[in-house]
Amino acid sequence: MQHPHVVSALSLLILAACASSPEAPENKPPVAPPQLAAPAAASTTPVTKPVAATPVKPVFSKPQFEKLDKLLATKFASAFMSKQVAEARTTIRAFLSQNACLIDDDGSALQVLAVTAKDFPAKGYAAPVMALPDHDKQTCLTVAALGRWVAPTATSLRFQASYESSSGKTSKVRHELRRQHDGKWAVLR
């Protein structure tokens, strides 16, 4: 009778010998050792979410600027008023041309012209185009008239602007500017 330990030992020796004996190369193709998959390389371009097309903002045209410049060149009976308007002209021109080109209730583009602590909101601003819903929003409104000029103090200037839509309808809006401590004019409303 054989001992179970001897049989087990012999079986292990036979298995080890078979595993270490080389086979003829023609009988078995070489097998490459298994390799671990490399981690995916990080993308060099950032992943971006698709963005909805934003409407193209219209641009105040050369004829519109020429008309606005004529309106701002109006002579006043009062030398004081003429001086106030001349000093504020650059700010008035920039404000009116930008305000005329707003296509919705986002007034944030006007913030750079605002008096300190004035907020032209990104939502809820009463742009002139909001009163003219039939206007072609691919074009700016035209500043058709300026009037009702008042300078209650040396640091305050008020006037009314009439904005004309592409359909010929108009919207009148009162604006006010204030002279800042640095002497520059800024928009209050």
* Domain enclosing residue 149, as ranges: 62-187
Q: Is 49 exposed, middle or buried (0-12, 13-18, 19+ CB in 10 A)?
A: exposed
At 100, the amino acid letter reads: A
Q: Write the CATH number for 99.
A: 3.10.450
What local confidence, expressed as pLDDT, does residue 15 receive? Answer: 47
The answer to whether position 152 is within a domain reads: yes
The answer to whether position 87 is within a domain reads: yes
What local confidence, expressed as pLDDT, does residue 10 receive? Answer: 45
- Collect all residues with Cβ–Cβ distance below 8 Å to 64 and sequence separation of at least 6: 97, 100, 140, 142, 143
* Residue of 80, 62, 76, 97 lying closest to 175 (CA atoms): 97
Query: What is the Cα Rg of the chain in Å?
Result: 40
Tell me if 98 sits within 8 A of 127, measured CB to CB.
Answer: no
What local confidence, expressed as pLDDT, does residue 13 receive? Answer: 46
Task: State the total domains in the chain.
Answer: 1
How far apart CA 87 and CA 155 sit, in angstroms, is: 11
The answer to whether position 6 is within a domain reads: no
The answer to whether position 112 is within a domain reads: yes
What local confidence, expressed as pLDDT, does residue 130 receive? Answer: 85
What local confidence, expressed as pLDDT, does residue 34 receive? Answer: 54
The answer to whether position 124 is within a domain reads: yes
Residue-level pLDDT, tens digit, the chain, 189 residues: 555 554 454 454 454 454 554 554 455 555 555 555 555 555 555 555 555 555 567 888 899 999 999 999 988 889 999 999 999 999 999 999 999 989 888 888 888 888 888 888 888 888 888 888 888 888 899 999 999 999 999 999 999 999 999 899 999 999 999 999 999 998 888
- pTM (two decimals): 0.68
The answer to whether position 118 is within a domain reads: yes
What local confidence, expressed as pLDDT, does residue 171 receive? Answer: 92
Pairing of strands 156-164, 185-187: unpaired
The answer to whether position 51 is within a domain reads: no
What local confidence, expressed as pLDDT, does residue 2 receive? Answer: 53
